[in-house]
A and B are shown apart, each in its own frame.
Chain A
Amino acid sequence: LAKTTQPISMDSYEGQEVNITCSHNNIATNDYITWYQQFPSQGPRFIIQGYKTKVTNEVASLFIPADRKSSTLSLPRVSLSDTAVYYCLVGGLGSARQLTFGSGTQLTVLP
């Protein structure tokens, strides 16, 4: 299983762009990179998924370098409501067993 490493916590201020980087040195050829967000007392929520280069949706962007050994989740202009835990997962499509949630990154957005 591809192991991921991400910072335990990050602080930011409202209106700033936040970048959370995840390392996954032993990512496999057929692995995708998926990010989830979890608010207190709620289940995780899918944010974005990508394989290489850049993916953007209405919520975030995901940057993946050519070697795919890391990825960066970018949240533009964060607000207080973006305070949550963010998980980086690596696994093949349809291989739910490989979707192991690590410790995640606690993002705290300050006013």
Chain B
Amino acid sequence: DAGVIQSPRHEVTEMGQEVTLRCKPISGHNSLFWYRQTMMRGLELLIYFNNNVPIDDSGMPEDRFSAKMPNASFSTLKIQPSEPRDSAVYFCASSSLAGALDNEQFFGPGTRLTVL
């Protein structure tokens, strides 16, 4: 398996623009997580899907952030409009609740977002 795939790997945009981050989880995994990592705040869980359904989005910072999972193999995290304080590395992770170690999350390589 190729692991969790994220795109783009790097994104530079200007304040006010819409940004869409994409994630393909590991095939067969039924849970998907979006995280944000910054030096100041560390690694924060933004939203968590189980079987394509959002379970907990309390970590989503503002209404400017939205996430969707239209099917088991694809998810998006959208920021509209983007602001400089959204600059961070965004990670997607997936896991299988049916696994023996269901706290084992597999992380993608991340998307480094810079909002100018």
Question: A103 within 8 Å of B by Cβ?
Answer: yes
* Total A-B pairs, Cβ < 8 A: 61
Asked if residues B31 and A96 are in contact (CB atoms below 8 Å), the reply is yes
How many of chain B's residues have a CB under 8 angstroms from any CB in A? 26
**Smallest CB separation, B48 vs chain A (Å):** 5
Q: Is the interface of A mostly helix, strand, loop or mixed?
A: loop
Q: A43-B91, A102-B42 are in contact. Are A97 and B48 (CB under 8 A)?
A: yes
By size class, the interface of chain A is 20 to 34
CB interface residues, B 24-74, toward A, < 8 Å: 31, 33, 35, 42-45, 48, 55-56, 58
CB contacts under 8 Å to B, within A18-68, are: 32, 34, 41-46, 49
Q: How far is the CA of A89 from the CA of B102 in the complex (A)?
A: 13
**Contact partners of B107 in chain A: CB under 8 A:** 42-45
With a CB–CB cut-off of 8 A, which chain A residues contact B82?
none
